[in-house]
Amino acid sequence: MMAQNIYDDEEFFGGYSQLLRSKNGLDGSPEWPALQEMVGNVSALRVLDLGSGYGWFCRWAAAAGAQSVLGIDVSSKMIAQAEDWGRDPAIEYQLGDLDTVELKESAYDLVFSSLAFHYLTNLDGLFTKAYNSLSPTGRFVFSVEHPIYTAPVQASPGFQTDVDAPERKSWPLNSYANEGLRIRNWLKDGVRKQHRKIDTYVSSLLGAGFTLTGLIEWMPTLKHVEDHPEWKDELERPMFLLFAAEKK
Ligand SMILES: C[S@@+](CC[C@H](N)C(=O)[O-])C[C@H]1O[C@@H](n2cnc3c(N)ncnc32)[C@H](O)[C@@H]1O
């Protein structure tokens, strides 16, 4: 099945461009410091960024000394914006659908992805391709929306307040075991995402041959919330899930 490619939709693209993480890039992405620690040193590495979007990570990796960076994304609008924001001889962008893309074998030292895999239907296939695309000591680091966040079947899940204790907020977790399509009204009605359980992500990684080396359910610390009161609700349930894995 063809990918939805919602980022090429005018209305969605316009809304997405207004998000803090779109305007401020990695500095506007609260989970970036944790992800960056998992990524580690990229100096002289051949890097592949799957679902590269505006290219924030591609530019960071090139500036941090990566030998080459290939960003693949299904949205030509996202790639056009990424190219507008700075061409670098070390960076190349390629239009491609991660559900069907072919990746070069043994061509990269680091495969990275930020918040793209929960759009994909064929994750097992992609993980096997990512594994084969890595050098023998290659690493795989990625983030997805946390399964507690993706699970609810409501089109616009939101926190609910307790009648007896209005200060207490609860996330409407339901249908956790029912993996698969979730239709969300987010920036535009009808956005197609895929819900998977944590053990499904882990099994897919292990099944592809990876060794899991790190797993973080990203949530802010109290100090984060002091500096960024807008993240307070994120203390109630994790929104991002971060993975690090190795080929060897
Ligand atoms: C939430 S954005 C994240 C962008 C970037 N990785 C970042 O963190 O700033 C998700 C990106 O995944 C891309 N994407 C979604 N489905 C895809 C698919 N099937 N193949 C390739 N890219 C896809 C979108 O076009 C979009 O650029």
Q: Long-range contacts: 164-170, Cβ < 8 Å, 24+? A: 169/233, 169/236, 170/236
What spacing in Å lies between the alpha carbon of 118 and ligand 1's midpoint? 9
Alpha-carbon distance of 192 to 159, in angstroms, equals 21
What spacing in Å lies between the alpha carbon of 220 and ligand 1's midpoint? 23
Contact yes or no for 38/242 (Cβ under 8 A): yes
Q: What is the pLDDT of residue 2?
A: 77
Under the banding of pLDDT at 50, 70 and 90, the label for residue 162 is confident
Q: What is the pLDDT of residue 163?
A: 87
Q: What is the pLDDT of residue 211?
A: 98
Output 19 or 43, whichever has higher pLDDT.
Answer: 43
158-179: average pLDDT: 93
192-210: average pLDDT: 98
Contact yes or no for 192/115 (Cβ under 8 A): no
- pLDDT of residue 1 exceeding 70: no
Helices then strands (H, E): number in the chain? 9, 11
Q: Is 139 helix (H, G, I), strand (E, B) or coil?
A: strand
| Nearest atom of ligand 1 to the alpha carbon of 99 | 19
| pTM for the predicted model, two decimal places | 0.97
Per DSSP bridges, beta strands 240-246 and 134-145 are: antiparallel
What does the pLDDT look like over 83-106, one tens digit per residue? Answer: 999 889 999 999 999 999 999 999
Alpha-carbon distance of 124 to 204, in angstroms, equals 6
33-39: average pLDDT: 98
What does the pLDDT look like over 7-18, one tens digit per residue? Answer: 999 999 999 999
- pLDDT of residue 217 exceeding 80: yes
Contact yes or no for 135/104 (Cβ under 8 A): no
Residue that has been written with the tokens 């499904």 in this structure: 200
28-57: average pLDDT: 97
Per DSSP bridges, beta strands 91-95 and 169-170 are: unpaired
Q: Hey, which of 7, 8, 29, 112 would you mutate to test ligand 1's pocket, going by the most ligand atoms within 8 Å of its Cβ?
A: 7
Residues near ligand 1 (Cβ within 6 A): 3, 7, 51-54, 56, 73-75, 78, 97-99, 114-116, 119-120
149-156: average pLDDT: 98
Q: Hey, which of 4, 21, 115 would you mutate to test ligand 1's pocket, going by the most ligand atoms within 8 Å of its Cβ?
A: 115
Q: Across all residues in the chain, what is the average pLDDT?
A: 96
Of all protein residues, whose CA lies closest to atom 14 belonging to ligand 1? Answer: 51
The two three-digit tokens of residue 27, written as one number: 């500095």
Q: What is the pLDDT of residue 115?
A: 98
Of all protein residues, whose CA lies closest to atom 17 belonging to ligand 1? Answer: 74
Residue-wise burial string across 150-178, b where 16 or more C-beta atoms lie within 10 A, e elsewhere: bbbeeeebeeeeeeeeeeebebeeeeeee
Output 162 or 150, whichever has higher pLDDT.
Answer: 150
What does the pLDDT look like over 62-86, one tens digit per residue? Answer: 999 999 999 999 999 999 999 999 8
Q: What is the pLDDT of residue 166?
A: 85
